[in-house]
Amino acid sequence: MDKKKLLKEIASWVILFFIAFSIAFLFSSKAYAKVIVKERSMENTLFENQHMMVDIIGYSFKGPQRGDIVTFFTNEEKGNLLNDLQRYIDGIECRFDKNKDYDELHERYVKRVIGIEGDVIDIQHGSVYVNGEKIEEDYAIGETLAREVQLPIKVGKDKLFVLGDNREVSIDSREFGLIDVNQIEGKVILRVYPFKSVGKVK
């Protein structure tokens, strides 16, 4: 191997190490979290076993908006001090105890925000209506049908209506109803693994 090729290869490894270190630093901070997709409900936007970067401080300045893809805890509040402390302790224990799964202890869902405070949501003939207007959903796959929750439904104060993009398999607000804003962990902003899928999430 000639000197020029060797230097080029060393440079590529240095760049790769820097990127990996930067991502690891971001993940370990309070500003971002790493989440692994463990369901098919967001296909074809997100696929099972993809790793995502979640912005967990952005909503401190501006609340969730329609179209945002968010992660949220199913049975606890993100902003609750006791829950934060318990998640921190569990995170440490899971690093040393391979029999513990953090995601099982603190179940998350990944969904898309469809309705925010004040919106009226309805589903008719396989389409979603927000405030009486049919919305275009190029990201959605499968037929969108109403389920257990009675529609139309008005989104109350500090509540959200969420749906998975894969409508036929997703468990979402059609079944469990509105979620509380305080359950939101953050906004999904990037795919970071596998590397061929790295990119911004829309």
Domain at 156, CATH number: 2.10.109.10
Q: Is 34 a catalytic residue?
A: no
Average pLDDT, the chain: 83
Low-confidence ranges of the chain (pLDDT < 70): 1, 3, 17-18, 20-30, 75-106
Which of 41, 170, 173, 187 is an active site residue? 41
Q: Quick one: pLDDT at residue 107?
A: 75
pTM of the model: 0.76
Q: Quick one: pLDDT at residue 194?
A: 85
Task: Show the domain range for 23.
Answer: 1-30
Based on the domain organization, do 84 and 104 belong to the same domain?
Answer: yes
Which of 78, 111, 159, 187 is an active site residue? 111
Q: Quick one: pLDDT at residue 92?
A: 59
Based on the domain organization, do 139 and 182 belong to the same domain?
Answer: yes
Beta strands (DSSP E) in the chain are: 32-36, 51-55, 69-73, 108-115, 120-124, 127-130, 133-134, 153-154, 159-163, 179-180, 184-193, 199-200
Based on the domain organization, do 94 and 193 belong to the same domain?
Answer: yes
Q: Is 41 a catalytic residue?
A: yes
Q: How many domains does the chain have?
A: 2
